[in-house]
Amino acid sequence: MYSADKLIDQYLDSFARTHRQKFSRGESPLPKLRDIETLNEQLLTLFFPGHQGTENMRSLRSVVGYSMQIFTRLLCDSIKLALIYESPEISEALAEGQAEEHTNALASELGNIRMILKKDAAAGFEGDPAADSIHEIILSYPGIKAIAVNRTAHFLYKRHVPLIPRMMAEAMHQKTGIDIHPGAEIGESFFIDHGTGASIGETAVIGDRVRIYQGVAIGAFSESSRIKGKTKRHPTIGDDVIIYPNASILGDITVGNGSIIVSNTLVTEDIPERMLVKPSSSGISIRPL
């Protein structure tokens, strides 16, 4: 009978050589991705009750109460594990106290986030003639789910919660194909149509009433080494900008209010307000709208 025993020590040697000695703390494992996925599901139920298979609940209060209990418990437990991973010297009691503070702060903010999401959903309905109702946007459009999780993860990111914001974002990335870093600052009435392959980087700033489509990259140029600190390296997108499919806006540049970026355009320079930007034989063509 075949046995892998003789290979185990050889494989374990790969862990001994890693510089990440704090990867394992024995009794304190890393946050679990499946818990973060469940956390995201309960978050969407909190934001959109009745749209996530909870129609058998008897009242709004029961839906919210059930999901809030699961969401906050998983969030608090996951943040505690993340804090211990990030700072192995921290005591379990201190990590638990800090996790409770972060959880309570977010729970108190969920109502405000939901009000912004209502504007995002309305923007989706207004921006897509194929949608018959706001309920259709919430039920079937991946963009509203991605931005719902992003707005929540961004709140935790700003509080310097380690690991969890990025795990929330990546779990939703896997589910929707939309990659939004939790550090990105996104204004109100934001709509991602279709969405697959859209990517928004960590230091991107996006204004109000912006609409983007599938394959859009709001990104940075690659760096040969890690940048210490949070240097601005992604674009700033003004209000009322439309970016059509597969356009790439790269670097610390500004796209002015009301401009339109045509499909498949590569933008690496500042764009004034109310301009139409499209590919040309010499690079890009920029003209007033």
Residues 117 and 188: their CA atoms lie apart, in Å, by 8
Torsion angle, alpha carbons of 171, 79, 200, 152, to 10: 90
pLDDT digits (tens, 9 = 90+) for 115-129: 999 999 999 999 999
User: 197-289: same fold as 24-179?
Assistant: no
| Residue-averaged pLDDT of the chain | 90
Residues 6+ apart with CB under 8 A from 2: none
Q: Which among 121, 232, 244 is positioned nearest to 184, based on CA atoms?
A: 232
Given a cut of 70, whether residue 218 has pLDDT beyond it is: yes
Provide Rg for the chain, Cα atoms. Answer: 22
pLDDT (average), residues 250-267: 97
Distance from C-alpha of 60 to C-alpha of 39, rounded to nearest angstrom: 19
Task: Identify the CATH class of 197-289.
Answer: mainly beta
DSSP 271: B
Query: What's the pLDDT tens digit per position in 21-73?
Result: 444 444 568 899 999 999 999 999 999 987 665 555 568 888 888 889 999 99
Rounded Cα gap, residues 209 and 191, in angstroms: 8
Q: Does residue 223 register a pLDDT over 90?
A: no
CA distance linking residue 272 with residue 15, whole number of Å: 52
Say if CB 112 and CB 49 are below 8 A apart. no
Give me the pLDDT at residue 21, please.
47
Q: What is the pLDDT of residues 70-87, one digit of tens each?
A: 999 999 999 999 999 999
* Greatest Cα-to-Cα distance within the chain, rounded to the nearest angstrom: 75
By the 8 A CB rule, do 237 and 252 touch? no
Do β-strands 179-180 and 236-237 pair in parallel, antiparallel, or remain unpaired?
A: unpaired
> Which sequence spans correspond to the domains of the chain?
24-179, 197-289
Distance CA 173, CA 156 (A): 17
Pairing state between β 254-255 and 217-219: unpaired
Report d(CA 72, CA 76) in Å as an integer: 6
CA–CA distance, 131 with 121 (Å, rounded to integer): 11
Which residue do the tokens 């929330």 mark?
A: 168
What is the architecture of the domain spanning 24-179? Answer: Orthogonal Bundle (1.10)
**Predicted structure pTM score:** 0.89
Partnered with residue 237 across adjacent β-strands are: 206, 255
Q: Report pLDDT digits (tens) over 150-179.
A: 999 999 999 999 999 999 999 999 999 999
Which is more confidently placed, 21 or 269?
Answer: 269
